Amino acid sequence: MRAFITGHNGFIGKNLPAALERQGIQTVFTDERHLDLNFTNNNELDVYTNSEDVWKKVLQELEVDILIHNAAVVGTDVVGLDPERATSSNVTGTYSLTRVANKLKIPIIYLGTSVIYDTFKYQEESIVEGSQRGPHTYYGHLKLLGENLVKSYANDWSIVRPLFAFGGVGDMNSLIAKTFYGYFAKKDNIDMFLDPQKIKDYLHVSDFCDAVAIVCANENHRGEDYNVAAETPIVTREIVDMMSVIAGEDLNKLITWHPETDYLGHHRLSARKFKAMTGWQPKFTLDQGLRDAWNSICHAVQGNVGYNPLQYLEEAKQKNVNLLDFY
């Protein structure tokens, strides 16, 4: 089986091929030499500017068996830097890709987000797949529109939603990445749009990618939407305490919390449905995941590979964009 990943240079996209390979699925790519295509700054196919005809040609020539739609402008702070671009990519691009996949009879696996739910309604319980939708941010609304487009226009689809994925290669938006990177960059005022007293649940990206690969490999798991989570909730400040032990320094002092922007509050997903249907279980404990993230960031920093999870916060300051307006 041959899989094509949109957004393969993004956080999830960089970590997916290894998981797919473990399921016997080959990941295929294209580049500028292959066709007359429009590319993003990351040298990826642009899901918005490329026409349906171009996408059809790409998927046919690469003999794609399954399409994993991962490309998106991700995160409320990033969306705040360019809302128009986010809308074009997350909605219009999804519409075009879904139509093409349907015409070619290629299954589409849409990677969603947990922020589509009305999180304020579920402060005392874990959210299940059938819980009420009601996003509280522009980003959440865009992703919910994407889900609805996939369900409306694709005959063979699945939706897989992670909860606070972190670790692995290319983590740019998580609390973990921003804090560890801030430590190495000697920052003392990392803006964190979270309430440190609220409970969250963090999942290592490798475990999430394994979940996606399982859905790709088995057509019996298709036509469903799944929440994927570690189900090990923890108070946000306590996870920073765990990270401080790993770093050997109190990392809480680096962070400027913005609890008024925490539109999620307590946020937990139930992975009971996915576990029951597939037998999936996370391999990483939270402590193991944090140590893996630390090692990955150490490697990135020491190798000077341009890894900078704080770049969006810095861009916002340079452009005089108040990210608080988008929370």
pLDDT of 258 higher than 80? yes
- Mean pLDDT computed over 103-126: 94
Look at residue 202 in the predicted model and tell me its pLDDT. 96
Tokens representing residue 318 in the block: 């340079």
- Contact (CB, 8 A) for 146 and 112: yes
Q: What is the mean pLDDT of residues 114-129?
A: 92
Can you read off the two tokens belonging to residue 30?
């294209």
Span 205-220, average pLDDT: 96
**Is the pLDDT higher at 321 or at 66?**
66
Q: Which of 8-12, 88-92, 173-177, 317-321 bottoms out in mean pLDDT, i.e. has the lowest?
A: 317-321
- Report which listed range, 67-71, 173-177, 284-288, 307-311, is most confident: 284-288
The pLDDT of 72-93, averaged and rounded, is 76
For the stretch 280-315, pLDDT in tens is: 999 999 999 999 999 988 887 776 655 566 666 677
Q: Do residues 209 and 215 make contact, with C-beta atoms less than 8 angstroms apart?
A: no
In the predicted model, is pLDDT for residue 37 greater than 70?
no
* Mean of pLDDT values over 247-266: 93
Position 241 scores a pLDDT of 98
Question: Higher pLDDT residue, 77 or 239?
Answer: 239
Predicted pLDDT at 134: 94
Averaged pLDDT for residues 53-70: 91
Percent residues over pLDDT 70 in the chain: 86
Q: What's the CA gap between 59 and 100, in Å, rounded?
A: 9
SS (H, E, C) 221-279: HCCCEEEECCCCCEEHHHHHHHHHHHHCCCHHHHEEECHHHCCCCCCCECCHHHHHHHC
pLDDT score at 310:
67
Looking at the domain 2-326, which fold is it? Rossmann fold (3.40.50)
The one-character DSSP state at 217 is H
Q: Is the pLDDT of residue 33 over 50?
A: no
Q: How confident is the model at residue 87 (pLDDT cuts 50, 70, 90)?
A: confident
Q: Using CA of residue 119, residue 122, residue 128, residue 132, what is the dihedral sign?
A: negative
Q: Residue 308's CB: how many other CB atoms inside 10 A?
A: 16
In this predicted structure, the answer to whether residue 4 has a pLDDT above a threshold of 80 is yes
Q: Rounded mean pLDDT of the chain?
A: 87
DSSP 173: S
CA dihedral 38→42→45→51, nearest 10 degrees, is -50
In the chain, what are the domain boundaries? 2-326
Residue 128 CB neighbour total at 10 angstroms:
14
Q: What is the pLDDT of residue 32?
A: 40
What is the per-residue pLDDT for 47? 67
Task: Write down the number of H helices and E strands in the chain.
Answer: 12, 12
Distances, alpha carbon 124 to alpha carbons 121, 239, 262, 271, 272, in Å? 8, 20, 16, 16, 17
pLDDT at 86: 79
Dist CA 316 CA 243 (whole Å): 26
Contact 174, 213 (CB under 8 A): no
The residue-averaged pLDDT of 271-286 equals: 97
A 10 A CB-CB count for 296 gives: 20
Report, as an integer, the average pLDDT of 31-40.
51
Please indicate whether residue 65 or residue 137 has the higher confidence score (pLDDT): 65
